[in-house]
Chains A and B, each alone.
Chain A
């Protein structure tokens, strides 16, 4: 190789895939720039209550990795940033990164949170999936263990920025870190390889018109927040409409997945397990309650997964009903679910208090721009196409650009972490191969 190679990696997306890949590359001795769109790394995983099949909490198992990222001498976390443009080729990419205005000088901010305490304005919290419980302030950090532990101002809700009133945060800040006049700025970096880990989002419930738009018909991530002991309800199970404890709860699997006629033909792969998990956690919190799960098949194809499912059925008495749900609507206090039990051939009507839809996983819409900038090939649903389905599972069609996590296809945490490690090892062998060749020459 005749040209110089920039032995520094860029990772786009600070979820569990990006975090794992960053740590692996950094531990291998190379510099990593980890770009995250939101104010903190952590991704969807840190929103979850407890994770299957071991029921450990992501706050316990992921936040240490997040902190390691934050403290690693080889990792430069660029949070609240987006990719603006990428030029060049493997070994020599020039990347423009947009630093979105945080209105807080992060060099001065100590993360004390006094501003957030005193801020008078509330806004829906993205981290809490905009549930009625648990709004955030206009100056905020998305959650307690955020990395970096810095605050940002939401310019759409801040009274100072919208109406030139208030200004409390600037008054209380002990380090004078508030900068109401801050603007976006562009930084240019050079890297040798890129890992795209832009993750997933859930398909919107409104796309399933046979299911009512109702505060008590929620998606999986919303229920994760309600179940989460450190979540907006402090782990007390409440339904959004009136805060009552739901005594009958219905889970609908394959909501949008495995539906080639109207939505997506693919399986989202995590819903069987997380519905079982959520039903289990629900039963642990509400022992008198009854959980029903409507399913097409129960797919438990990972290590310890089948045993986990059996535990849910036998110990937690989750009622599994094989059939699709045709309709969900409110009737007074109740959410009525019309379904079918195809094993007995009978129609089933459940009068539930809360319904959780296991919505299909789709590629994170926020990652669309990155895919376009990098010119990445995707399948018809927007998942990034690997260069060979079996033998090159982390390479994209472009040299030096790799993919990890749910940006490539729906997958669970163990697989995501494994794939992130795979992508990191590709970057490591690219960089170390170059250095060895250089040393030999």
Chain B
């Protein structure tokens, strides 16, 4: 299955580990994620003002790029990109008058009517690949690895675009379970990571990250799995600030779910780019005999 893939800025820089592991792991399952030519910024944060049409142009232009590939779908990895692209398309579809105005700004593009569906890789795994197929592809089951999935907000909210139940999502649990991991159900899995407060108010983010990480640890988790580069930054890199502010905090590794897929599929660990993690996951994975 070939599907156009929208990377977004972070996956080419700080979250290269996410991109490389995802592309390699998806390939094992027969999914060719083909990077969209000429993609541009996703819009970063979905604009909530109803008359702010100019903010919708960037995401819609990306959907047009997918349409140029003669696809009616576009897959994303980054939760933020998923959210912005999907919501821009919903906005575009919902209001005819605004749609016509947006189209006038885009008269240099091929005609677009909102017919490209934005999907996140987890959705694709659940709805088209199936957990059984994932199970079959596993060569090194993650037996004994205690993983707490963390969704954050962008995959689930608002409910109209969420990839799963907004309050009790299970898709990442299902994938991790198919990989053989010991899945830890953590109540903080949909709580806020602190998001962009990380730029100016590290304290806020450190507090959020501390709650999330200690809750997961309290429930027995050894590693967090997630799908958003911003969450990853806040939960992984900000552990430095967490340690400075909270006595007795023990750091823990944070991984993209695709890195765990790559390991379980027996791929060369170099696709996981573990060197990009702030807290090195290698000792843990080694101790479980998952990498050498």
Contact in complex: A327, B168 (CB < 8 Å) = no
Chain A, 385-416, CB within 8 A of any chain B CB: none
The answer to whether the Cβ of A332 comes within 8 Å of any Cβ in the partner chain is yes
Whether B283 sits at the interface, judged by CB under 8 Å, is no
Which of B165, B167, B168, B187 lies in contact with A336, CB distance below 8 A?
A: B187
Interface size grouping (class) on chain B: under 10
Nearest CB of B to A320, in Å: 25
The answer to whether A332 touches B218 (Cβ under 8 A) is: yes
Binary per-residue interface labels of chain A (199-241) against chain B in the complex, 1 for a CB within 8 Å, 0 otherwise? 0000000000110100000000000000000000000000000
A331–B167 CB distance below 8 A: no
Cα–Cα, bound, A209→B166 (Å) = 9
Question: Does A330 interact with chain B (Cβ within 8 Å)?
Answer: yes
Instruction: Please state if A212 and B187 are interface contacts (CB–CB under 8 Å).
Output: yes
- Interchain CB contact (< 8 A) of A327 among B165, B187, B215, B218: B187
In Å, the complex CA distance between A212 and B218 comes to 17
C-alpha spacing A270/B167, complex, angstroms: 27
| CB-based contact B168/A331 at 8 Å | no
Interface residues of A in 303-358 (CB under 8 A from B): 327, 329-332, 336
A386 to B167, CA, bound (A): 37
Q: Which residue of A lies closest to B215 (CB)?
A: A331
**Minimum Cβ distance to chain B for residue A404 (Å):** 37
**Separation in Å of the B188 CB from the closest CB of chain A?**
8
- Kindly list chain A residues whose C-beta atoms are within 8 Å of the C-beta of B215: 331
Specify which chain B residues have a CB less than 8 angstroms from the CB of A330 in the assembled complex: 187
0/1 string, B166-187, CB within 8 A of A gives 1: 0110000000000000000001
Chain A min CB distance to B53 (Å): 27
Q: Are A329 and B165 touching (Cβ within 8 A)?
A: no
Docked complex Cα distance between A209 and B218 (Å): 22
Interface size class of A (residues with CB under 8 A): under 10
Bound: A205/B172 CA distance, A: 25
The answer to whether B187 and A209 have CB atoms under 8 Å apart is no
- Chain A min CB distance to B152 (Å): 15
B281 → chain A closest CB, angstroms: 25
Q: Given the complex, which residues of A lie within 8 Å of B167, measured CB to CB?
A: 209-210, 327
How many pairs, one residue from A and one from B, have CB atoms within 8 Å of each other in the complex? 15
Query: In the complex the two chains form, what is the Cα distance from A210 to B168 in whole Å?
Result: 7
Binary CB contact string for chain B from 206 to 243 against chain A (1 if under 8 A, 0 otherwise): 00000000010010000000000000000000000000
Over the window 190-215 of chain B, the binary record of Cβ atoms lying under 8 Å from chain A Cβ atoms (1 yes, 0 no) is 00000000000000000000000001
> Which of chain A's residues 162-211 have a Cβ closer than 8 Å to chain B?
209-210
Determine whether the beta carbon of B218 is less than 8 Å from that of A329: no
Which residues of B lie under 8 Å from residue A210 when comparing CB positions? 167-168
Q: Which residues of A contact B168 (CB under 8 A)?
A: 209-210
Within the complex, the shortest CB–CB distance from A244 to chain B, in Å, comes to 20
Q: How far is the CA of A331 from the CA of B165 in the complex (A)?
A: 21
User: How far is A43 from B93 in the complex, measured between Cα atoms in Å?
Assistant: 51
Q: Which A residues are in CB contact (< 8 Å) with B165?
A: 209
Tell me which residues across on chain B come within 8 A of A212, comparing CB atoms. Answer: 187
Interface string of A115-135 (1 = CB under 8 A from B): 000000000000000000000
A137 to B216 CA separation, bound complex (whole angstroms): 42
* Inter-chain contacts of A336 with B (CB < 8 A): 187
How long is the Cα–Cα vector from A287 to B167 in the complex, in angstroms?
A: 35
Kindly identify, within residues 59 to 75 of chain A, every residue whose CB is under 8 Å from any CB belonging to chain B.
Answer: none
**What is the bound-complex CA distance between A330 and B219, given in angstroms?**
10
* Chain B residues near A331 (CB-CB < 8 A): 187, 215, 218
Q: What is the chain A residue whose CB lies nearest that of B214?
A: A331
CB-CB contacts below 8 Å: A254-306 with B: none
Please, how many angstroms separate the alpha-carbon atoms of A329 and B165 in the complex? 16
For the complex, give the distance between the alpha carbons of A327 and B218 in Å: 18
A210–B156 Cα gap in the complex (Å)? 13
Beta-carbon nearest neighbor of B190 in chain A: A327
Tell me the complex Cα distance, A210–B189, Å: 12
Give the most central of B167, B168, B215, B218: most A CB within 10 Å.
B167
Q: Please, could you name 15 A-B residue pairs with CB atoms under 8 Å apart, sorted by A?
A: A209-B165, A209-B167, A209-B168, A210-B167, A210-B168, A212-B187, A327-B167, A327-B187, A329-B187, A330-B187, A331-B187, A331-B215, A331-B218, A332-B218, A336-B187
- Nearest 9 pairs of A and B residues by beta carbon: A329-B187, A209-B167, A210-B167, A209-B168, A209-B165, A331-B187, A331-B215, A331-B218, A332-B218
Contact residues of A with B, CB < 8 Å? Answer: 209-210, 212, 327, 329-332, 336
Interface on B for A, CB 8 Å cutoff? 165, 167-168, 187, 215, 218
| New A-B pairs, 9, CB < 8 Å, besides A210-B168, A329-B187, A332-B218 | A209-B167, A209-B168, A210-B167, A212-B187, A327-B167, A330-B187, A331-B215, A331-B218, A336-B187
